[in-house]
Amino acid sequence: PRSNGQIENINSTIITVISKLSIDDPNKWYTYVKDVQKVINSTFQRSINTSPFQLLFGTAIKTKHDLKITNMLNEEIQAIFVNSRDELRKQAKLQIQKVQDENKRTYNLRRKPSASF
């Protein structure tokens, strides 16, 4: 992500889903934008504890959900989650190693050589 990670993630999801939907005729990708937008706007978002549509209008959206789009979005969101989790784990591992190295250096500065008998 270059600037806003959340926006970059959703844009990546939208592009992937539209690409999959228009695999038979890539020149007609634009025909799926409206459906993908409806599904995204009506999908529950954990961060706001509701759907974006319901947050804006105060009621749930009253349209048919395209199961194919919903499934693709869920798969893509799951993949993003797994990638984000793996990246966080890598960063945590590096940070733990860094702190351990710093602690070792600090400890060794005060340590005296062992006495030989």
Phi, psi of 116 (to 5 degrees): -95, 140
Q: Is residue 42 part of a domain?
A: yes
Separation of CA 67 from chain center: 21
Nearest C-alpha neighbor of 75 from the set 22, 30, 20: 20
Half-sphere exposure of 25 (CA within 13 A, CB side): 5
Assigned domain for 116 exists: no
**Can you give the pLDDT at residue 7?**
83
Q: Which domain holds residue 79?
A: 5-110
Structural domain contains residue 115: no
**Cα–Cα distance for residue pair 16/14, rounded to 1 Å:** 5
* Total domain count, the chain: 1
- Assess if residue 11 is contained within a domain: yes
CA–CA distance, 49 with 47 (Å, rounded to integer): 6
- What distance in Å separates the CA atoms of residue 39 and residue 69, rounded to the nearest whole number? 7
The per-residue pLDDT string of the chain (117 residues; one tens digit each, 9 = 90 and over) reads: 456 777 888 899 899 999 999 999 999 999 999 989 988 998 888 889 999 988 988 877 776 655 667 777 888 888 888 998 999 999 999 999 999 999 999 988 888 888 888
DSSP state of 49: T
DSSP label of 20: H
Give the whole-angstrom CA distance, residue 21 versus residue 33: 10
